[in-house]
Structure 1
Amino acid sequence: MEGEQTVDLIRVQLRKQRALAGMNQEEFGKRTNYSGSTVSAVETGTRPVDLPYARRADEILETGGLFESLLRTAQQDGQPAWFMPWLKAERAARQLRYFNPTLIPGLFQTENYARAVLRFDDTRPEQEIEQQVAARLERQEILKRERPPQVVAVIDESALRRSDAIMAEQLAHLLRMAELPHVHIHIIPASAGLHIGLCGPLLLAMLPDGTWIGHLDSQLGGEASDTEEKVAKLLGVWECVRAIALPEDLSIALIKEVESQHGPQ
């Protein structure tokens, strides 16, 4: 609820600051490189406020980063409490490890893919979905830092072969992510058969002091794991799934092969 209230405040202030600057929606749109209809949609709540829009508004209205700051606060408020320990660890990490047997990891998801995943819960209000999509995309900013974390992801081949219209776009994006020097993607081929990773996804973060934190997702939410025993268990599972995954070059070749089967984007 707090996140939604902050987003509403952002929209009110966007309208107010635009009016104080003497610009109507069309004029503001021209200055910010958005259409007047987009400006209207943002201000009325039919289009979510995202970071690029907030940053551009701050620049044109000379608000000193106000809207970006408010939006980041709203996105954090909108995260479930069980996810906050992992989110904090992810932002601080020097190394990140992701494994998922069924989905593309959130750090590599496109907007359309993230939206489709979040709609698995058909009781979730559309406004909440859009807020969560924006928050998931904002997490990906860590990949663009001047000194980003090293990211290694292992994905089961089955996650690539979802016969959905958005998969061609998602796979193309995954290939672009794999081109980043600090990102390493490995695929477990279907030929590997049954393996321990099929028990569920896991996430691991190595913090600046060298300690590791793990995270496990479930149907009811998620759980951060920072005890020595639990982290050791997760690191052991990670080594197992990493060991049966293909090398990077063969993984990329497999992603390209699957992408070609989805047809043109």
Structure 2
Amino acid sequence: MMARPLVPERSLWHLIAVEVRRQRELHQLSGSHLANLLGCDRSTVSRIENGLRRLSPDNAAQLDELWRTGGLFTRLVRFAAAADDGNWFTGLTQYEEQATHHRMWEALLIPGIFQTPDYARAALTVGMVDDVEAAFNLRMARQTAVFDRPRVANISVLLNWVALAQPVGDAETMRGQLARLLELSELPNVSVRIVEKEANVHLGLDGSFTLLTVDDHDIAFADAPERGRLMIDPPDVQRFAVRYERISNIATPIGPSRALIERAMETYQ
């Protein structure tokens, strides 16, 4: 993949990439040597320095110790992950690939990694993105990264009743999507629970979010129009974990939730 121009004045992630290269050259290390010290391959170091891969919190801590930078890279990664600089999606997809546990609350739509091709295209073509085909391909690639992996992640979804009632595409598209939702909910590592209309007003109405467990640490992603926000600072993540638990407390159990999905399918004839 061709390296893109780095603009450290506009992106903290680009600043990190430039600083990793600067420090490596300052300490007269080759890319291969640094890769050995970090326990990764040479291509990973190259992708980090070219802005094609984000520096992980663990690697940031390794660099701080190696170069005695006083926690500089750890702080930069934390701030970059929390910043809304328009590059959030790269970080989200990377964390999704690595996560061992996904906890999702979806207020309006079927989760992206559960969407059928027809549903995804119908959702994306309403003007959410400029390049529908690129966004569609990325969404399908996210599904592959999550479900087609040697170590399957545990996925727990809390789904608002609105996602079942809101048509996206035609009736056939919705039947296919809900059938796919049922199919995935029967996997041993996946649970889908519905928050019914009778739950009335609750914390989840503030917006969708995801909690991901990566390397025994949790991160949070809060959804928003056009841009989302990644959070790795423990107090921020904990607030979303508490919110998830409170929504979970009012969600319908797994078995009855499947029955709700089946009944919703019958309405799309």
- Alignment partners' CA distance in 2, 1:144 and 1:93: 13
Q: Tell me the TM-score normalised to structure 2 length.
A: 0.65
Where does residue 187 of structure 2 map in the other structure? 180
Where does residue 122 of structure 2 map in the other structure? 116
- Alignment partners' CA distance in 2, 1:197 and 1:189: 12
Q: Which structure: greater helix fraction?
A: 1
Unaligned runs of at least 5 residues, structure 2: 4-52, 54-85
Tell me the amino acid that sits aligned with residue 106 of structure 1: G
Report Cα offsets for 1:114-138 as digits up to 9, x if no partner.
11221232772xxx21121111011
Q: Quick one: structure 1 residues 143 and 191, their matched pair in 2 at CA, closer, same or farther if it must change by over 3 Å?
A: same
Q: How does 1:182-261 map to 2 (within 5 A)?
A: 182-208=189-215, 210-261=216-267
- Alignment partners' CA distance in 2, 1:192 and 1:105: 20
Where does residue 82 of structure 1 map in the other structure? 88
Where does residue 137 of structure 2 map in the other structure? 134
- Alignment partners' CA distance in 2, 1:162 and 1:201: 16
Report Cα offsets for 1:48-77 as digits up to 9, x if no partner.
xxxxxxxxxxxxxxxxxxxxxxxxxxxx9x
- Alignment partners' CA distance in 2, 1:153 and 1:123: 24
Report Cα offsets for 1:139-169 as digits up to 9, x if no partner.
1122132321000000001110123412111
- Counterpart of 1:161 (choices 140, 154, 165) is 165
Q: Quick one: structure 1 residues 157 and 118, their matched pair in 2 at CA, closer, same or farther if it must change by over 3 Å?
A: same
Between the two proteins, what is the percent identity of the paired residues?
A: 30
Q: Quick one: structure 1 residues 197 and 122, their matched pair in 2 at CA, closer, same or farther if it must change by over 3 Å?
A: closer
How many aligned residue pairs are there? Answer: 184
Tell me the amino acid that sits aligned with residue 91 of structure 2: P
Unaligned runs of at least 5 residues, structure 1: 4-75
Q: Quick one: structure 1 residues 258 and 146, their matched pair in 2 at CA, closer, same or farther if it must change by over 3 Å?
A: same
- Alignment partners' CA distance in 1, 2:93 and 2:187: 22
Deviation at 1:89, TM superposition (A): 1.1
Q: Quick one: structure 1 residues 169 and 139, their matched pair in 2 at CA, closer, same or farther if it must change by over 3 Å?
A: same
- Alignment partners' CA distance in 1, 2:161 and 2:250: 12
- Alignment partners' CA distance in 2, 1:220 and 1:117: 14
SS of the residue corresponding to residue 126 of structure 2 reads coil
Q: After TM superposition, which residue ranges in structure 1, 4 or more long, deviate above 6 angstroms? A: none
RMSD after superposition: 2.0
Tell me the amino acid that sits aligned with residue 137 of structure 1: M
Tell me the amino acid that sits aligned with residue 236 of structure 1: V
Deviation at 1:90, TM superposition (A): 0.9
Where does residue 98 of structure 1 map in the other structure? 104
- Alignment partners' CA distance in 2, 1:243 and 1:138: 32
Q: Tell me the TM-score normalised to structure 1 length.
A: 0.66
- Alignment partners' CA distance in 1, 2:242 and 2:129: 37
- Given that 2:100 and 2:154 are in contact with CA atoms closer than 8 Å, whether structure 1 keeps it comes out as yes
- Given that 2:129 and 2:135 are in contact with CA atoms closer than 8 Å, whether structure 1 keeps it comes out as no
- Alignment partners' CA distance in 2, 1:161 and 1:145: 32
